[in-house]
Amino acid sequence: MNTATKRYLREFIYSMIAYVLTLIPSIIAVNSLRDYPFAPARALVALTPVVPVAFMVYFFIRYLNNIDELQQRIQLMSIGFAAGTTGLLTFSYGFLENVGFPRISLLWVFPIMILLWGLGQAYISRRYQ
The pLDDT tens digits for 96-113 are 999 999 999 999 999 999
129 confidence band (pLDDT: 50, 70, 90): confident
- Region 30-55: mean pLDDT is 88
* Distance, CA of 94 to CA of 104 (rounded, Å): 9
1 confidence band (pLDDT: 50, 70, 90): confident
pLDDT, position 47: 95
Half-sphere CA count of 12, side-chain side, radius 13 A? 11
pLDDT, position 39: 77
Domains of the chain: which residue ranges?
1-49, 68-129
- CB-CB contact of 75 with 117 (8 Å): no
User: If 0-12 CB within 10 Å is exposed, 13-18 middle and 19+ buried, where does residue 30 land?
Assistant: middle
| Region of residue 102 (left: phi > 0; alpha: psi -120 to 50; beta: else) | beta
